[in-house]
Structure 1
């Protein structure tokens, strides 16, 4: 059973609830050691005095703030003495509508449990009231030497605490992100086609359907290297969609999302069969276009869709003609 990372009291009005806070998430990142190349020697990080070159014991290290002209030494006890909320109390200053808190403010999640069995009723009362009102309690919490802005909210029958970013920690996207669209407006047809693509790719949210494929590939790489085998490299990232090809890319994406088969190809085949049934065979011999010429008459988006179905590797980095040539090779022409 996990140990709590914080214990204390949550207070709202004249009601106090002893609680324990537990970490809600875990990381499955694969950790590597650092070795000197060509050896099995570990690389260690040490705290070294930059003037003497000698290692310094942890107890002999103090915090210092650089003012520019001097260092101001601050002892750990001095930080503890000025820390707010030293009484281990989380005082809720008020309750806000959950829909008014933008997702960007949420940081890390913790589970909250009652401090003891006798407080189960108060705990259940607060959880139920927050659920029915769709509100979250806003408070501050001091934990591990840092003060946090937090939101106390209900989730599936229990209480959770979410640490929030302070307002001045949120960066202005207009100052951070270059080349934002600004007044650029897509056409009505492009918006309609993009909406159709979104509808075609809609799904029910089920987090169990997703997993960390990169970590799986890292583990497979380690296993393969241990066995002296090689692993297949990932395909390069897709080429950016240009404004000229945007509608074609959207149209092809919608058709591919709606059906695993090429609906255009199926329709054209049906029409051609019907035409042959109605018309007699021509007396003159006709020359059909070469496969490469026929493929080059398609748009890049259509070629890319065919290349995807054909399983052509590296297709995302190919030009229009390279896609056509690759498709010809897969047909053996």
Structure 2
């Protein structure tokens, strides 16, 4: 069982919940050592005085803030420790924001948040369910390992997660770094509608298990092939850029191609060969058939609930129903907007 990397309390109004943070992700990257060509000799990085060329012990190294070329303000490690925020024990939720208002560029790392004791399970689940239903994130600051972080607390199925966020002055303005951003101009209505049709035709269910790191797999195959003395076939070149003059024609053909496939998956197999229709709701005393993943481009039949009230559903459940009902603009809707749209569409019946 993993150990928490940070422990403290999460405060929510007058509610205090003892929690621990756990690393949510792990690195599976293939790592290499540096060797001198023709030998098995490792290459090591050393801390060297650039003027004398001699190696310097870590204990004799200080930090310097450069004012001008060759001119520094020297700062001792102890002086940095004195101004460090220390090890805070509190995540104080200062307020809540709509999740869609936090742009993805602000998210840095993710941690699972767990209660420190079974006796806190009820309070923990109450907070998780409330955040899930509100579709909001709690904003707080956190001090960890001598550094202060801006954080966002949000709900996932069964667990609370804490995202560390970049500070506002750490996020670049895209206009300053992307040299050829087009100006906002009114798009051709036919092209825009066709592009939207293509997006609809290629809309799929999100399941991260459907994706994997193909490059890492190719790196491993490369190592295995070289070990066996085999040749390695390189990847094909990327396709040429679309000619803007033929944009409408390319979009139209893309839509036709997506629709004509009728839900073929990446292996060329029709989804109908390996999936069933969306399961019907269970009758009294019968189990519901397991959910199957729908193929791209197919609409799901609506899932009916006999007496369930829309207000009792989570946003994820509401979004599922909105997808089944083909509610336009659902991906940008808040939970309340989804309820309103579903009510008007008659999907609550």
TM-score category of the 2 structures, normalised to the smaller one = 0.7 to 0.9
> Do 2:88 and 2:143's aligned partners in 1 also have CA atoms closer than 8 Å?
no
Partner of 1:51: 51
Partner of 1:173: 174
User: Structure 1 residue 221: deviation in Å?
Assistant: 1.0
Q: Does 1:111 align with 2:112?
A: yes
* RMSD of aligned Cα (Å): 2.1
Q: Residues of 1 paired with 2:43 and 2:36: CA distance?
A: 7
User: Structure 1 residue 85: deviation in Å?
Assistant: 5.7
> Do 2:85 and 2:147's aligned partners in 1 also have CA atoms closer than 8 Å?
no
Q: Residues of 1 paired with 2:23 and 2:145: CA distance?
A: 13
User: Structure 1 residue 88: deviation in Å?
Assistant: 2.2
> Do 1:11 and 1:91's aligned partners in 2 also have CA atoms closer than 8 Å?
yes
Structure 2 alignment gaps of length 5 or more: 263-349
Moved more, 93-102 or 235-244: 93-102
Partner of 1:320: none
Partner of 2:93: 92
> Do 1:83 and 1:142's aligned partners in 2 also have CA atoms closer than 8 Å?
no
User: Structure 1 residue 202: deviation in Å?
Assistant: 1.6
- For the residue of structure 2 that corresponds to 1:211, the secondary structure is coil
- For the residue of structure 1 that corresponds to 2:160, the secondary structure is strand
Deviant stretches of 4+, over 6 Å: none
Q: Residues of 2 paired with 1:202 and 1:104: CA distance?
A: 23
Q: Residues of 1 paired with 2:13 and 2:256: CA distance?
A: 58
Q: Residues of 2 paired with 1:81 and 1:91: CA distance?
A: 23
Structure 1 alignment gaps of length 5 or more: 262-333
Q: Does 1:128 align with 2:124?
A: no
After TM superposition, the score normalised by the length of structure 1 is 0.72
- For the residue of structure 2 that corresponds to 1:66, the secondary structure is strand
Q: Residues of 2 paired with 1:32 and 1:205: CA distance?
A: 33
Q: Does 1:72 align with 2:76?
A: no
- For the residue of structure 1 that corresponds to 2:221, the secondary structure is helix
State how 1:103-252 maps to structure 2 within 5 Å.
103-252=104-253
Q: Residues of 2 paired with 1:242 and 1:100: CA distance?
A: 35
- Distance change >3 Å, CA 199–CA 14, structure 1 → 2: closer
User: Structure 1 residue 65: deviation in Å?
Assistant: 1.7
Larger relative helix fraction:
1
> Do 1:24 and 1:110's aligned partners in 2 also have CA atoms closer than 8 Å?
yes
Deviations 1:279-326 (A, max 9, x none): xxxxxxxxxxxxxxxxxxxxxxxxxxxxxxxxxxxxxxxxxxxxxxxx
Q: Residues of 1 paired with 2:11 and 2:61: CA distance?
A: 37
- Distance change >3 Å, CA 154–CA 260, structure 1 → 2: closer
Q: How many residues align?
A: 261
> Do 1:174 and 1:180's aligned partners in 2 also have CA atoms closer than 8 Å?
yes
Partner of 2:32: 32
User: Structure 1 residue 60: deviation in Å?
Assistant: 2.8
Partner of 1:7: 7
- For the residue of structure 1 that corresponds to 2:91, the secondary structure is strand
After TM superposition, the score normalised by the length of structure 2 is 0.69
- Distance change >3 Å, CA 80–CA 179, structure 1 → 2: same
> Do 2:86 and 2:145's aligned partners in 1 also have CA atoms closer than 8 Å?
no
> Do 1:85 and 1:141's aligned partners in 2 also have CA atoms closer than 8 Å?
no
Larger Rg: 1
